[in-house]
Structure 1
């Protein structure tokens, strides 16, 4: 199994909240890849969750959790 880097560039620091949000989305996608490493299976499941409102909400919650982590690591961008 290939090693997956769950924190790109080994840093949660970003210059702006927009970059932080993009990092949060990337991190959420990477955790899905780590949880289900089979690319073909992930592709098959995409159709399932793309049409399920509750699953889409769960994805949004995962990104929000990752964004909260990134924002805290960046002191909520107050010092930038």
Structure 2
């Protein structure tokens, strides 16, 4: 599988909201690249959707991605 992990090959976004959306997308792409079998991902979705600890870990991955994007955007300073 050839997955593009940085959509558009750029972390630059116009707004923090766009940055957050990019962070979520990138986190999802990491999961897709890690577990390439769609049927397995679908089966596991119910497992992590009902586990508070796993959901918190997902949030941490998105937060880490967002921190990287925010830094690349110089925290949206003008």
The answer to whether the superposition gives a TM-score over 0.5 is yes
Residue 45 of structure 1 is matched in structure 2 by 44
Count of aligned pairs between the two proteins: 78
Shift of 1:59: 0.1
Where do 5+ consecutive residues of structure 2 fail to align?
none
Residue 76 of structure 2 is matched in structure 1 by 77
CA RMSD of aligned residues (A): 0.4
Partners of 1:14 and 1:23 lie apart in 2 by 8
The equivalences for 1:1-80 within 5 A come to 2-79=1-78
Write the deviation string for residues 10-66 of structure 1: whole angstroms up to 9, x where unpaired: 000000000000000000000000000000000000000000000000000000000
| TM-score for the superposition, normalised by structure 2 | 0.99
Where do 5+ consecutive residues of structure 1 fail to align?
none
- Structure 1's consecutive aligned runs of 4 or more residues displaced over 6 angstroms after TM superposition are none
Partners of 1:51 and 1:57 lie apart in 2 by 11
| TM-score for the superposition, normalised by structure 1 | 0.96
Shift of 1:8: 0.1
